[in-house]
Structure formats: structure tokens, C-alpha cells
């Protein structure tokens, strides 16, 4: 890495997130029933891949440090405040310093001392897993309510997506303007959304357009992109379950301690099936019955982010605001 080829951590994160989202979308489109897999560490893998493509082996640790400093820098409004918060709470649970304190090296590019390499590696895996949780959760919230946008033919997918866009107009896109003393309510839809045409830019027929509007009217009555508290807890705590080797029994017991009736009413096999159904399977490794799994207090007491407003500045899907 030289002055002639400056390293841009924001560009590296953006490229890693784009690769991650493209692969995740392709996976969701093609996965058969019970084959969905979310939060597998894809984002961290793509981040390391992009770093290796940008710098020499000698500079990889320095590049990793700069990427960590960039994404945890709170004045940067990247749309991942909740992921940062949960990362910070995880570090606190391990009695490690805050990201800001850890990154308080000189602002110029520098390689972190070798004694910090293991901790840096641990921190980057952590923040990447929380961002991946946010991005994959936001996609799943759309997928569970709009499977036709993935599983139909090209026109059926465009039909379903445009109906969703139109159904969201009352909540997100309506504007009021004054015209000759009257209040006029309208909406501006970005041209790139392609409303009114299929993916080949061919206008819908009158019958097709009528069907889209009827579907949009029905969707407008629905509460979108929400799920129950139990599922929300599973999604947001899965980075802990996956990275720290929790098994199904331990997750179920933690859910019971958290007070979820859904966990109490499910046997372990049924509980494992539920995790598999939503795409969050765990290793299932056997552990001692008297073991206290890592970060048990964290998952018991963590304040969960709300389901809405989770789409980051880099990523996002259908509901990202313009």
C-alpha cells in the first residue's frame, strides 16, 4: 500500500456488503424448503476477501484496523447504530475497551502492534456478525411476507414488488402541496423503481395493472416487516449462539429464562425445527449440562432493536427510503 494507491475502508466495506447481499439474495431465490441459511459469517469472509485484493500481505493487519475504525466511528451515519451498540455491549461483557478506545491510535494509517492482532481479529468478526444480522434480518422480514418476489417467474416477481411499493405509499411517500388554495396529496416514485412496467420495460396491460393495484390495496392493510418478540430475540442473539457454540438445548433454556412462552411450550426437537425453518440452525454440539454458555447474561438481558428502520446506508432492500 502506497500513497499512489490509497486505501479506502468505506469502499472496501461497500464492496463487501454488495457481494454479501448479492450472494444472500441468490441463496434466498434458490434455496429449497428448510435449506435457508442466514448469519453464516458471509460478510466477514467477503470483507477479508476485499482487503486481500486491495493491499499486500504485509499491510493486511493495518487495513483490517482501518476498516474496524471506519465502521465503528459513531459520527459516521452508516445506518448500523444498533449493530454498533450490540457490538459494544459484547465487548463490555468481555471486559474489553470500547471501540473508540481501542482505535485511539494515530489517525494516519498504521499497523496495530502484533500483541493486538488477536483482539482486532475478534472485534472485526464481532462487528461484521452484528451488521450481517441486521442485513439478513431485514431481508428475511421482507421474504417471509413476500415470497412471490423471489419464487415466481420474472413478471410475477415484478408484479409482487411493485404492489408492495404502492402499498407503502401512505406510510412513506405521500407529500402535500398547495394548489390554488387547496391541499393536494401526491407521491413521487423514483423512475428506477420501474413502477408500471415489467423488467423488460414493457408497460403492464390494463388487466395486469388492475391486478397490481388490487394487490397493493390489500397489502396496505397489512402490518409489514414485523415479527414476534421471540423471533426477534432469536435473530438478534444468533451472532452469539453461532460464534460461541451454543446448542439447541442451551438456546431453549435461555429463551425460557427470558420469559418466552413459545420456548416453554416446545420440546427440544420442535425448537430445533423452528430455528431451521427461519434459517438460523445451530451446530447442535453436545455440551455439559451444567455448563454456563458464554454471554448467557447478555442474551438474557439484551435490549433488542426494533424491527423497523434497520436498513443500513450501504445495504437494504425494498423498504429503504430514498
Percentage of residues in the chain having pLDDT higher than 70: 80
Does residue 108 surpass a pLDDT of 50?
no
Helix (H) or strand (E) holding 300: helix 296-301
Is 113 found in the same domain as 15?
yes
Q: What is the mean pLDDT of residues 284-300?
A: 87
In whole angstroms, how far apart are CA 268 and each of 39, 231, 246, 252, 284?
Answer: 21, 16, 14, 7, 11
Q: What is the pLDDT of residue 265?
A: 85
Is 171 found in the same domain as 122?
no
Q: What is the C-alpha radius of gyration for the chain, rounded to an integer number of angstroms?
A: 22
Q: What is the pLDDT of residue 318?
A: 35
Residue 314 within a domain: no
311 pLDDT band (50/70/90 cuts)? low
DSSP string, 144-155: HH-THHHHS-HH
Q: What is the pLDDT of residue 4?
A: 47
98 pLDDT band (50/70/90 cuts)? very high
Q: Is 299 helix (H, G, I), strand (E, B) or coil?
A: helix
Instruction: Tell me which of 103, 119, 145 is where a domain ends.
Output: 145
Which of 183 and 31 is assigned the larger pLDDT? 31
Is 275 found in the same domain as 188?
no
Is 44 found in the same domain as 21?
yes
Q: What is the mean pLDDT of residues 119-126?
A: 96
How many domains in the chain? Answer: 3
Residue 320 within a domain: no
Is 120 found in the same domain as 25?
yes
Average pLDDT of the chain to the nearest whole number = 83
In whole angstroms, how far apart are CA 29 and each of 135, 181, 272?
Answer: 16, 50, 23
Under DSSP, the state recorded for 58 is G
Domain interval for residue 21: 9-145
In whole angstroms, how far apart are CA 278 and each of 138, 234, 271, 307?
Answer: 13, 10, 11, 16
Total residues found in the chain within this entry: 322
Instruction: Tell me which of 201, 220, 239 is where a domain ends.
Output: 220
Does residue 170 surpass a pLDDT of 70?
no
Is 140 found in the same domain as 126?
yes
Instruction: Give tens-digit pLDDT for 128-138.
Output: 999 999 999 98
Strand 174-179 versus strand 182-187 pairing type: antiparallel
Instruction: Tell me which of 159, 186, 220 is where a domain ends.
Output: 220
Does residue 275 surpass a pLDDT of 70?
yes
CA distance 28 to 252: 26
Q: Which residues contact 273 (CB under 8 A, 6 or more apart)?
A: none
3 pLDDT band (50/70/90 cuts)? very low
Residue 199 within a domain: yes
Q: What is the pLDDT of residue 287?
A: 76
Q: What is the mean pLDDT of residues 217-233?
A: 79
Q: What is the pLDDT of residue 125?
A: 98
Residue 183 pairs in a beta bridge with 178
Is 155 found in the same domain as 139?
no
Q: What is the pLDDT of residue 196?
A: 84
Instruction: Give tens-digit pLDDT for 15-45.
Output: 999 899 889 988 988 888 788 999 999 999 9
Q: What is the pLDDT of residue 193?
A: 65
DSSP strands (E only) in 126-231:
174-179, 182-187
Residue 312 within a domain: no
Q: What is the mean pLDDT of residues 92-105?
A: 91
Q: What is the pLDDT of residue 76?
A: 86
Does residue 89 surpass a pLDDT of 70?
yes
Which of 196 and 243 is assigned the larger pLDDT? 243
Amino acid at each position: 500500500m502506497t500513497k499512489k494507491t490509497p486505501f479506502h475502508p468505506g469502499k472496501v466495506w461497500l464492496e463487501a456488503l454488495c457481494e454479501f447481499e448479492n450472494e444472500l439474495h441468490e441463496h434466498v431465490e434458490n434455496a429449497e424448503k428448510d435449506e435457508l441459511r442466514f448469519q453464516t459469517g458471509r460478510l466477514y469472509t467477503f470483507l477479508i476477501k476485499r482487503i486481500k485484493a486491495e493491499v499486500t500481505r504485509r499491510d493486511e493487519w493495518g487495513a483490517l484496523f482501518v476498516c474496524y475504525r471506519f465502521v465503528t466511528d459513531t459520527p459516521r451515519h452508516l445506518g448500523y447504530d444498533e449493530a454498533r451498540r450490540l457490538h459494544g455491549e459484547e465487548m463490555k461483557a468481555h471486559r474489553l475497551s470500547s471501540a473508540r478506545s481501542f482505535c485511539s491510535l494515530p489517525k494516519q494509517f498504521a499497523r496495530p502492534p502484533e500483541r493486538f492482532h488477536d483482539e482486532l481479529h475478534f472485534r472485526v468478526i464481532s462487528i461484521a456478525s452484528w451488521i450481517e444480522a441486521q442485513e439478513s434480518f431485514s431481508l428475511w422480514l421482507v421474504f417471509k411476507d413476500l415470497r412471490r418476489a423471489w419464487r415466481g417467474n420474472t413478471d410475477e416477481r415484478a408484479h409482487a414488488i411493485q404492489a408492495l411499493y404502492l402499498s407503502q405509499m401512505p406510510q412513506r411517500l405521500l407529500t402535500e402541496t398547495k394548489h390554488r388554495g387547496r391541499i393536494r396529496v401526491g407521491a413521487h416514485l423514483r423512475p428506477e423503481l420501474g413502477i408500471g412496467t415489467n423488467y423488460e420495460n414493457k408497460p403492464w396491460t390494463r388487466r395486469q395493472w388492475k391486478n397490481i393495484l388490487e394487490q397493493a390495496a390489500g397489502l396496505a392493510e397489512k402490518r409489514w416487516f414485523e415479527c414476534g418478540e421471540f423471533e426477534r430475540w432469536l435473530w438478534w442473539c444468533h451472532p452469539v449462539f453461532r460464534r460461541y457454540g451454543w446448542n439447541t438445548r442451551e438456546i431453549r433454556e435461555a429463551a425460557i429464562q427470558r420469559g418466552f412462552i413459545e420456548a416453554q411450550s416446545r420440546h427440544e426437537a420442535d425448537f430445533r425445527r423452528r430455528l431451521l425453518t427461519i434459517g438460523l440452525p445451530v451446530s447442535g454440539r453436545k455440551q455439559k449440562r451444567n455448563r454456563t454458555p458464554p454471554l448467557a447474561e447478555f442474551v438474557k438481558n439484551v435490549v433488542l432493536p426494533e424491527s423497523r428502520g434497520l436498513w443500513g446506508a450501504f445495504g437494504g432492500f425494498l423498504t429503504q427510503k430514498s
